[in-house]
Homo-oligomer: A and B are copies of this chain.
Amino acid sequence: MIDAENLAKLYRDNLLSDVIPFWQRNAVDWTNGGYFTCLDRKGRVYDTDKFVWLQARQIWMFSMLYNKLEKRQEWLDVALAGAKFLEKHGRDAEGNWYFALNREGKPLVQPYNIFSDCFAAMAFGQLFQATGLSNHGNLGRDTFNNILKRRQNPKGKYAKGVPGTRNLKDFALPMILCNLVLELEHLLDAPLVTDTIQYGINEVMTTFYRPDERVILEAVNLDGSFSDSFEGRLVNPGHGLEAMWFMMDLAERSGDNELMKKAADITLQLMEYGWDRTHGGIFYFLDVEQKPLQQLEWDQKLWWVHIEALISLAKGYLHTGDERFSQWFSKLHDYTWAHFPDMEFGEWYGYLNRHGEVLLPSKGGKWKGCFHIPRGLYQLWKTMEAIAEKQRQLIIQDK
Contact A110 B162 (CB under 8 A): yes
Chain B residues near A166 (CB-CB < 8 A):
102, 108
**Distance A232 CA – B299 CA, assembled complex (angstroms):** 28
Chain B residues near A160 (CB-CB < 8 A):
99, 109-110, 112, 158
Q: Which of A38, A40, A160 has the largest number of chain B CB atoms within 10 A?
A: A160
Q: Please tell me which stretch of A23-31, A71-79, A288-296 contacts chain B, meaning at least 4 of its Cβ atoms lie within 8 angstroms of it.
A: A288-296
Chain B residues near A191 (CB-CB < 8 A):
none
**Distance A98 CA – B353 CA, assembled complex (angstroms):** 35
Contact B158 A293 (CB under 8 A): no
Contact B359 A108 (CB under 8 A): no
Chain B residues near A98 (CB-CB < 8 A):
162
Asked if A47 is at the interface (CB within 8 A of a chain B CB), the reply is yes
Q: Which chain A residues in 86-117 approach chain B with CB under 8 Å? A: 98-99, 102, 106-110, 112
Asked if A362 is at the interface (CB within 8 A of a chain B CB), the reply is yes
Q: Which of A47, A49, A365 has the largest number of chain B CB atoms within 10 A?
A: A47
Contact B102 A46 (CB under 8 A): no
Asked if A297 is at the interface (CB within 8 A of a chain B CB), the reply is yes
**Distance A291 CA – B44 CA, assembled complex (angstroms):** 11
Given contact pairs A229-B49, A230-B366, A296-B300, A161 touches B109 in the complex (Cβ within 8 A): yes
Asked if A165 is at the interface (CB within 8 A of a chain B CB), the reply is yes
Chain B residues near A294 (CB-CB < 8 A):
365-366
Contact A291 B46 (CB under 8 A): yes
Contact A292 B362 (CB under 8 A): yes
Asked if A53 is at the interface (CB within 8 A of a chain B CB), the reply is no
**Distance A296 CA – B355 CA, assembled complex (angstroms):** 15
Would you give the shortest CB distance from A34 to chain B, in whole angstroms? 15
The 7 A-B pairs of least Cβ separation, nearest first, read A292-B362, A296-B297, A107-B162, A46-B291, A106-B165, A292-B360, A110-B160
Q: Pick 29 A–B contacts, CB within 8 A, sort by A.
A: A40-B291, A46-B291, A46-B292, A47-B229, A47-B230, A47-B291, A49-B230, A98-B162, A99-B160, A106-B162, A108-B162, A108-B165, A109-B162, A110-B161, A158-B160, A230-B366, A292-B360, A292-B365, A293-B360, A294-B365, A294-B366, A296-B296, A296-B300, A296-B351, A296-B359, A296-B360, A299-B359, A353-B353, A353-B354
Question: Told that A98-B162, A296-B360 touch, could you supply 20 new A-B pairs with CB distance under 8 A?
Answer: A38-B292, A40-B291, A46-B291, A47-B230, A99-B160, A102-B165, A108-B162, A108-B166, A109-B162, A110-B160, A157-B157, A158-B160, A230-B366, A292-B361, A292-B362, A292-B365, A294-B366, A296-B300, A296-B359, A353-B354
Binding site for B on A (CB under 8 A): 38, 40, 46-47, 49, 98-99, 102, 106-110, 112, 157-158, 160-162, 164-166, 228-230, 291-294, 296-297, 299-300, 351, 353-355, 359-362, 365-366
